[in-house]
Amino acid sequence: MTIRERWTRWLAGAVSGLLAGAVALGVAQLTAGVSGPLGSPVVAVGDVAINLTPVPVKEFAIAHFGSHDKDALLTGVLVVLLVAAMAAGLLAVRRTWPGLAVLAVFGAVGTAAAVSQPGATALDVLPTLAGVAAAALALTAMARAVQRGAATGAGAAAWAGPVAGSDTGAGASPGAATWPGRRGFLVAGAGAAAVAVGGGLSGRLLLDRFSVASSRAQVRLPAPAVPAPRVPPGADLRISGLTPFFTSDASFYRVDTDLVLPQVAPDSWTLRIDGMVSRPLEITFGELLRMPLTEADITLVCVSNEVGGPYAGNARWLGAPLAALLRRAGPRAGADQVLSAAADGMTISTPLATILDSRNALLAVGMNGQPLPIEHGFPARMLVPGLYGYVSATKWVTRLTVTTFARQRAYWTQRGYAERAPIKTESRIDVPRPLARVPAGRTPVAGVAWAPSRGIAAVEVSADSGPWHAARLSTADGIDTWRQWVWVWDATPGLHQLRVRATDSAGVTQTPRDAASFPDGASGWDSVVVTVT
């Protein structure tokens, strides 16, 4: 066999594998459109990968990919699947069964991943099984076509097509020697491509029926029994490039472990409060909306937020006071934890005493005047001001179990994060941006600072490790929200470093000690380097 013949066969094998892999994905998508989105093998494998990924790798992904971390993971899973499919095709054009064995291995992995999903049923394995079965049929048809073509008269040389200035082989016509295999390959390949595309598009349309977007659009939030105080004048300094006082729903950060957003219909949602309580409760969404609701402005922060990072947002929330709900259930003596569970299987632990103190802990149903966006926990989520989200801000929450830290541990604490994680006093420089070029003269340096449940009392800025200068603070909107700040710098030409630190209302000044976000939040001073021209 010549080099050209070998490369032709390899190419046919690789194409066969890629098309078979595409068939698997398309048919799996179509089947998931009938059985449910959690059965998708790509999603199931991706979810398992998220749960098995070491904490440092997760932190790296969040820091470098941000809200696109899940896109990066899905891309990685798809690349692995397609590379494996190519390998299966290369094996199958020589002997069919080794290629089918590769598909069987990935079918077993997808099936195991599907059944490991929270709330998985027998239906959730169907997409993987259907996809692998369809891929096996497609791969067998294409591989056998290549094998037949290579075995006829002129072999792979004829399969590759006539070479200029030569015969097609042994005096035989191209049709007699080559087309039985080539034609079968083209027909099988075209059919595989059609199945892959048709299955994928049809599955996408069918999956739309699981969306609760239309149900969300029909929700009408009641007026709050306790409205939020009017935002005072001067709370937003309105400086170009400075983070707005309120974060829009679209701009609000999202950090969770879900590749597919949970779709929880409000008419089927319930919240159960159980565990170490005297009176277990279960409430419906309708009952929740009929309760006296509180409106509050609260800044949320993710524990993965690096110093100066973007994973903080401020919004106006509407919800039922969480302390009142727990007191209705009657926590028993000795309980110190509320273990919340979400529709996606996530568990989060919150100190019971923190919820029961005077802060605005909410079972929220609204965000910025609208029902919660699906990606932010519709129909209901938890909010506890002053705590990082991984110990307070359960989205799609469905259960609150009053228990103890000694008895039960949540998802993130099982992975080494701290049980109790108050948000550290932090500040960030928004203006000017790192490595920006700014004109000499009076230049505004501005940003935001936060210490939810304590409030910000002062912000200071230093240029080139010089003395600290007091920044002008925006008007405070309570202690649970961030505050904007600005300092006018008399900038001189050259390269300069600017640093910022904040002091909260308890008198605690932001520490200069650099620490990573694991296990209880990052610390240090934010700084930027700029060139003054």
Sequential DSSP letters for 458-498: EEEEEETT--EEEPEEPPP--SSS-EEEEEEEEE-SEEEEE
Checking if the pLDDT of 423 tops 60, the result is: yes
Tokens of residue 89, six digits: 């095709």
- Tens of pLDDT, residue by residue over 85-97, are 899 999 998 889 9
SS3 assignment, position 286 = helix
Residue 36: the pLDDT is 74
Q: Beta 456-463 vs 370-371: how paired, if at all?
A: unpaired
Q: Which residue in this structure is represented by tokens 């519709």? A: 378
- For 191-223, write each residue's pLDDT tens digit: 999 998 998 888 888 877 788 999 999 999 999
Minimum mean pLDDT range among 116-125, 201-210, 439-448:
116-125
> Of the candidates 105, 139, 113, which has an alpha carbon nearest to the alpha carbon of residue 40?
113
In the structure encoding, which two tokens stand for residue 37, read together? 């989105």
State yes or no: pLDDT of 304 exceeds 80: yes
The residue ranking higher by pLDDT, 120 or 509, is 509
Instruction: Please give the Cα distance from 218 to 392 (Å, whole number).
Output: 28
CA angle 511, 393, 212 (to 5 degrees): 145
**% pLDDT > 70, the chain:** 87
Record the pTM: 0.78
Mean pLDDT for the chain? 88
- pLDDT at 172 exceeding the cut of 90: no
Strand partners, 226: 294
Class of domain 426-532: mainly beta
Residue 347 has pLDDT above 90, yes or no: yes
> Which sequence spans correspond to the domains of the chain?
3-210, 270-415, 426-532
Q: What angle (nearest 5°) sits at the alpha carbon of residue 41, between those of residues 37 and 43?
A: 60
pLDDT at 7 over 90: no
The half-sphere exposure of 111 on its side-chain side, counting CA atoms within 13 A, is 13
CB atoms within 10 A of CB 491: 21
Report whether 526 contacts 479 (CB < 8 A). no
Q: How far is residue 435's CA from residue 438's CA, in Å, rounded to a whole number?
A: 9
* Nearest-angstrom CA–CA distance, 413 and 426: 23
Mean pLDDT of 19-33: 88
Q: Answer whether residue 377 shows pLDDT above 90.
A: yes
Position of tokens 């199945």? Answer: 195
CATH architecture for segment(s) 270-415: Alpha-Beta Complex (3.90)
Helix or strand (DSSP H, E) at 72: helix 69-92
SS3 336: coil
Cross-strand partners of 381: 364
- Say if residue 63's pLDDT is above 80: no
| Distance separating alpha carbons of residues 333 and 354, to the nearest angstrom | 15
- Residues in CB range of 48: below 8 A, 6 or more apart: 113, 116
Strand-pair category, 270-275 with 397-403: parallel
62-66, 141-145, 337-341: least confident range:
62-66
Read off the amino acid at residue 329. Answer: A
Q: How many residues does the chain have?
A: 533
Residue 260: its pLDDT value, please? 81
The average pLDDT across 56-65 equals 66
pLDDT reading at 323 higher than 90: yes
Contact between 388 and 423 under an 8 Å Cβ cutoff? The reply is yes
In this predicted structure, what is the pLDDT of residue 124?
81
Q: Would you say 464 and 427 are in contact if contact means Cβ atoms under 8 Å apart?
A: no
Residue 82's pLDDT band, with cuts at 50, 70 and 90, is confident
Give the tokens for residue 294: 């509180």
Element (H, E) at 57: helix 55-65
